[in-house]
Amino acid sequence: MAAAEQHHILDLPKFEEPVKILIVVAPYYKDIADELVAGAKSTVEEAGGTWELVEVPGALEVPTAISIADKLSNFDGYVALGCVIRGETTHYETVCNDSSRALQLMGLQGICIGNGILTVENREQAVVRAESKGQNKGGGAAAAALHLIALSRKWAAPSKGVGFHADAIKLAGDTKPA
């Protein structure tokens, strides 16, 4: 059982400039969503960041909302939250796979997203994972977004002058000093 296992959790990153996060939640299972959101808010605040919250109808709309926000706003990162509980049809697989794939594709384009959309077999599993005093998957998703923001800021730092510079290359036959 996953609850009994020990996991290494990275310390939250430190930021010189404030971080602004958009939390996008699908509150289909409202009590579970509320716990996920509480964990995410707390983690963002613990890192000194600010957050804004928006609700969408379901897990499939979460990636679309993040994509729209990324194009039209100034958030540093995003937290995707919701819960999909297996039902009697294959709709579960569609929602789980498509929402996850869309978030992953945006992440591969450089958008800093923490995925906290729970995909579980039953309500009991969801409650255990969502509780902010328990597994706190909402807080974990926020931490993931914060770590990605820290990496993007680190790697976006100005160049230290390593590599070739066109103005420093002396062409053959050029008599002017470089």
pLDDT digits (tens, 9 = 90+) for 143-162: 999 999 999 999 996 666 66
How many domains are contained in the chain?
Answer: 1
Backbone phi, psi, residue 123, to 5°: -60, -40
Give the residue numbers annotated as catalytic, written as ranges.
Answer: 91
Asked if residue 44 belongs to a domain, the reply is yes
Contacts (Cβ under 8 Å, ≥6 apart) of 142: 21, 23, 39, 40, 41, 43, 44, 79, 114, 116
Q: What is the pLDDT of residues 51-85, one digit of tens each?
A: 999 999 999 999 999 999 999 999 999 999 999 99
Please report where in the chains the tokens 């289909």 appear, as a residue.
28
Query: E strands of the chain, at which residues?
Result: 20-25, 50-55, 77-85, 113-120
Here the CATH number for the domain that contains residue 104 is: 3.40.50.960
Asked if residue 161 belongs to a domain, the reply is no
What does pTM read for this prediction? 0.86
